[in-house]
Structure 1
Amino acid sequence: MTETMQALVVLEPDVLEIQEKPVPEPGPHEVLARVRSTAICGTDAHLIRGDYPGFWPPAFPFTPGHEWAGDIVALGPGAEAFGWQVGDRVAGTSHNACGACQKCVEGRYNLCENYGKPGLHAQYGHNVQGCDATYVVHDVKTIFKLPDSISYDEGAVIDPASIALHVARRGNIQPGDTVVVTGAGAIGLLAADSALICGAARVVVVGRGYRLEKAAALGFETVDTTAGDPVAEVRGRTGGLGADVVLECAGVPDTLTWAMAMLRRGGRCAMVGIPTEDVALSIQPLVLDELELVGSRASAGEMRRVIPFVADGRVRVSELITHRFPLAEYDKALATFNDRSSGAMKIIVHP
């Protein structure tokens, strides 16, 4: 190890620089890890663009990144007591919750009631420095052992896979359900795999372009939003009844409107996409058809649950990795991610 490392620094919205920074030191119950692979998330792109001013991040300059895998190279005080050793391969997630508030005690640490309070809660790559660097410090609550059968690149996609499994579980999918996924990006396709794991008999992915082609290649039924009314198409394919569950993974006004209109009476929509603008919904069907709309934030314990499914290929993270870049070319990686014509799904960055 050296005393300094490379780190991506966002100086201000859309202004990026690779800087030489001191290697951080792990504190109590923390580890220092050598980052081998990181993945670009849609939230990273929004944050770098400055779409959440003063919130994500609280201020610039800032190092983003929260999807990663690597090796433990040093232990902070107390970390060894939790079974961690130097050399362990790990995948990381972002929420370092307080562990003591009512939501944390109930296992819903993604909703920590001390969110953002210094010393009580941190969300790596969001309100504290992230993993787009050679080394990163994480609390032991936020790292998970990576089996030898899972590569570092695949390990960097376990965090979004856990988010996909969380939204599927929030959808309360029952065995035999018909599930529709709106949005054919990485989270949408991982959510489609997760729906099958949760017992869906039929999964239909709604989207367009090369992402929808990927959904078809993975064996899912597809509905092309450019070919006509997607709501009418879904209802036509379900005998006019609609879907038992819709997983909304696009986060734009149209897709949420479609999602609610695609539901069968008594159906449930779980939404993980975060719109950057308000959405108008018709409330009468919500009441008269007893529809449900629930939010889904990050994950709450699904990192551990999803790893075996990644290992045995039922959650197909490797199928979604399309590009790889060194950290020094992060600007090119981000431009590729933002370019709908690039064919990008998950982009891996190697510090």
Structure 2
Amino acid sequence: MSDAQRFLSVSGPRTLEESAFTSPEPGPGRVVVDIAYTGICGTDVHGYTDGSMLPPAVFGHEWAGTVRSVGEGVSLVAPGDRVVGGVGPACGHCGQCLAGHAKNCDVVFAEANGVDEQAPDHGAFATQVEVSQRRVIPVPDALSDIDAALVEPAAVTFHAVRRASIEPGCLAVVVGAGPIGLLTAQNARAAGAGRIIISEPSEPRRATARELGFEDVVEPDELQGRMDAVTAGVGADIVFECAGVPTLLQSSAELVRRGGTLALLGFPLSESTVSYADWQQRELTVIGSLAYNREDFVGVMRLVEQGSISLAPLHTGTIELSEVKDMLEELDSGQSTHTKVLVAPRGQD
């Protein structure tokens, strides 16, 4: 195959470079995927503005597409199959696996962060990618292409909710109703949370939360009052911090009841100041969550299949490769009304 392909990469602070390549013949154990959609993530925005923080494979890591060709030894997928980009199963031979900690496999963690030995040379702000067969996960027929493009961030939140071990009927608070917050709220509801309060400053995002069936949706300055009314001052059983704003970390922790849980999904890029004594005195359980395992992709797609969570309402716009730079600037401005923007590298139908 020799047809021309294109990809975008970050070449400096707020600088993108478009490169051309020819469609490769996949090597042993590798798969070539024609990209249908790639989601723009907050990580992509930070990588664009910083210019050097992201491994090349991570710039455009939320992707879905169709298998174009497969290399020798590939048995999981075949040409024509729809797939999403994910991670492989636990390797069974790294230090973590040999110590009995397969859920924290070093190879899977490297894949999730785009630094594994088989990582592609570029991400999926591209018409095509070639990846290890470990990285492709088949998409059920019940999921649309839009759904498939949103599976990766959904898996991030599915992973976090699993780690939080939600108890049925608990009171949960979600701080931030961007894509991660909205998906976290849905996964928490599917896991059995009894009441969920969402705090978000953006009216369009609050409207999306209501569209998804959440009734307790408030502006940040209304959150404490709603909490007091609901819990008589006791606090939430669990708070999911999804905004990633360093100054919100301690205030989010103060929403948690004594003995409750603070789950961290937002990823601040600078240090946060917290009251260690407060957390200790109130015996908080603090759970960090980053990325996912392969089973998180499988599990969250099952929830979409059965209608327990809905992904398409988060999709608020589709652009082409030539528009990515302007959209990254818009999203970085903090003034965008978008929830989740998808890039169609091969053009829109």
Output the TM-score relative to the length of structure 2. Answer: 0.88
Show CA shifts across 1:129-174 (max 9, x none). Answer: 2111111112222221112222222211100000011111122211
In structure 2, what is the Cα distance between the partners aligned to 1:240 and 1:123?
A: 51
Q: What RMSD over aligned residues (CA atoms) do the two structures have, in Å? A: 2.6
Whether 1:250 and 2:248 are equivalent positions in the alignment is no
Change (3 A) 1:2 1:123: closer
Change (3 A) 1:205 1:120: closer
In structure 2, what is the Cα distance between the partners aligned to 1:25 and 1:2?
A: 9
User: What residue ranges of structure 2 are gaps of 5+ in the alignment?
Assistant: none
Whether 1:76 and 2:83 are equivalent positions in the alignment is no
Deviation above 6 Å: which 4+ runs of structure 1? none
Deviation at 1:292, TM superposition (A): 1.2
The counterpart of 1:348, out of the listed 333, 342, 346, is: 342
Show CA shifts across 1:53-101 (max 9, x none). Answer: 4x5237xxx8821111111111122112xx3211111111267976522
In structure 1, what is the Cα distance between the partners aligned to 2:93 and 2:37?
A: 31
In structure 2, what is the Cα distance between the partners aligned to 1:29 and 1:114?
A: 20
Deviation at 1:6, TM superposition (A): 1.1
In structure 1, what is the Cα distance between the partners aligned to 2:314 and 2:122?
A: 26
In structure 1, what is the Cα distance between the partners aligned to 2:263 and 2:313?
A: 24
Q: State whether residues 96 and 124 of structure 1, in contact with CA within 8 Å, keep that contact through their aligned partners in structure 2.
A: no
Any residues of structure 2 matched to 1:212-231 within 5 Å, and which? 212-220=206-214, 221-225=216-220, 227-228=221-222, 230-231=223-224
User: What residue ranges of structure 1 are gaps of 5+ in the alignment?
Assistant: none
Change (3 A) 1:28 1:12: same
Tell me the amino acid that sits aligned with residue 308 of structure 1. R
SS of equivalent residue, structure 2 residue 102: coil
Q: State whether residues 38 and 156 of structure 1, in contact with CA within 8 Å, keep that contact through their aligned partners in structure 2.
A: yes
Deviation at 1:235, TM superposition (A): 3.4
> Match of 2:259?
266
The counterpart of 1:311, out of the listed 279, 282, 305, is: 305
In structure 2, what is the Cα distance between the partners aligned to 1:292 and 1:114?
A: 23
Change (3 A) 1:43 1:90: same
Change (3 A) 1:279 1:232: farther
Change (3 A) 1:311 1:2: farther
In structure 2, what is the Cα distance between the partners aligned to 1:160 and 1:110?
A: 20
> Match of 1:277?
270
> Match of 1:36?
36
> Match of 2:157?
164
In structure 2, what is the Cα distance between the partners aligned to 1:343 and 1:114?
A: 32
Change (3 A) 1:9 1:284: closer
SS of equivalent residue, structure 2 residue 147: helix
Change (3 A) 1:281 1:198: same
Identity between Structure 1 and Structure 2 (%): 34
Whether 1:2 and 2:7 are equivalent positions in the alignment is no
Deviates more, 1:236-245 or 1:197-206: 236-245
Deviation at 1:233, TM superposition (A): 3.7
Change (3 A) 1:113 1:200: closer
Tell me the amino acid that sits aligned with residue 169 of structure 1. R
Deviates more, 1:138-147 or 1:92-101: 92-101
In structure 2, what is the Cα distance between the partners aligned to 1:156 and 1:16?
A: 22
Whether 1:90 and 2:90 are equivalent positions in the alignment is no
SS of equivalent residue, structure 2 residue 45: helix
> Match of 2:328?
334
Change (3 A) 1:96 1:50: farther
> Match of 1:57?
55
Deviates more, 1:176-185 or 1:96-105: 96-105
More helix by share: 2
In structure 1, what is the Cα distance between the partners aligned to 2:233 and 2:74?
A: 56
